[in-house]
Structure 1
Amino acid sequence: MNSKFFISVLSVFLIVSSYSCKQKSISVSKISTIQKKIDSTIVEDKAIDSFIKPFRAHLNKTLDATLCIAIADFTKNDKPLESTLGNLMADISLKQTKPVFEKKYTKEIDFVLLNYGGMRAPILKGPVTARTAYQVMPFENELVVAELSYEKVKELTAYLAYAQRAHPIANLRLSIVKASKEVKEVKINDQPLQENKTYLVLTTDYLQQGGDRMDFFKNPIQLYKTNYKLRNALIDYFKSVDTLQVKLDKRIKYAE
């Protein structure tokens, strides 16, 4: 194990003072800590290892079972404004959440926005497993839908134009000016952004709470929970297809 990781052991010493036979006061006298390294010097407990061995074997077998095949490497670094991994993540999130959301709320999701930094590993050409999903998305992020006003969606698109980064999106197309970092054109479901309309945006609970400085998601008109983790959506999708395919289609592009 990595010697950079430590367990902090906390020792608390209490003084108990008795003021009468019916009343006691407890206060903290001293707090001290020591650090224990977790590394190769720790002696293995064979009894514990023997106990967990069958569970570990079963878990590894489940995680490493092939669910589908990736026909190419999908990474988040293909282009400055979009990526194969980002497009795949956004498309999967929409496809898997759409029927769940529509059944529960009888409403339709307008578009998807995830974040570039949330993709923690590529999907490499070859067998795709549940472990792959854990590597790509190691966090317990839940998919949620935030209802945003026209003004908030304008803030969202301005954020993307200023960042000029390959944040995963679906059902949203932007044309931006590279030099000025301004939005030239916005289309949602191939329709122009409408001033007197609210939009249902699929994202994660982390971003909805302002993660990655996406403050436009805070205090939405209404927040809809799906009880569906992004990682579970990936695994469910992997199980439903034979091969993974995606392409770059200029969801965000520089204005000509």
Structure 2
Amino acid sequence: MSEKRKSQLTAFDQLLTIMDELREQCPWDKKQTMETLRYLTIEETFELSDAILDSDLEEVKKELGDLLLHIVFYARLGDEQRAFDIGAVIRQLNEKLIRRHPHIYAETEAKDEEAVKQNWEKIKLKEKGNQSVLGGVPKSLPALIKAMRIQEKARGVGFDWEADEQVWEKVQEELQEFKEAMDQRERDRDAVAAEFGDVLFSLINYARFLDINPEEALERTNRKFIHRFQFLEKAARNSGKSLADMSLAEMDVFWEEAKKRE
């Protein structure tokens, strides 16, 4: 065993000891349940996501530590309920990784990333006993991420377009149907919403074919807008003006200046 691996195992062992001590001695930690930790875990996950988008590796390290603490905490709670402990969690994970990578640990061949994904989905479907390939998609996923996962899982069993040109044609088709629904929006608002959803779904599909993560792309645009708008607010204050009293043309001057500073 390498010295690096020994150091890693020592650090993990110390974390388990600290978790035991906190659970037994800290008033806050003693009161926690899986239910009370759940929303905190979600928050920590989003904080990790922010750090990744900021390319802040030091912050990524910190947030990974926070998530690891939650995993160890859940395992400690599971141990108290005599349901599972951290060893069982890790062993089950190890077994799953070996089982789902037969191209590494068995004799199955996988020549590229796509073949690996397809094998993974087929094995996962068999393991969980789902009658639908889409049965494993969490219901509570945000809609944009859910659409992406739905499409990826369908692709895993061969249900997909063959070329990005076909997907772009579908985007144009959905845009035309949305336009037609808009022309009748006074009579059928539900149809407008439905067609708009189809447009978004087709755009997410097209992004996938271009190897663009739509969630990341949209978040970049969100951040860009926030940066520009906050510059606009600051510039307005510095000029002694209020956004509420400015015309759109006046605000656009500051907006264009913000774009030039990027």
Instruction: Give yes or no for TM over 0.5.
Output: no
TM-score (norm 2): 0.23
**Which structure is higher in helix share?**
2
TM-score (norm 1): 0.23
**Greater relative contact order, per chain length (Cα 8 Å cut-off, separation 6+):** 1
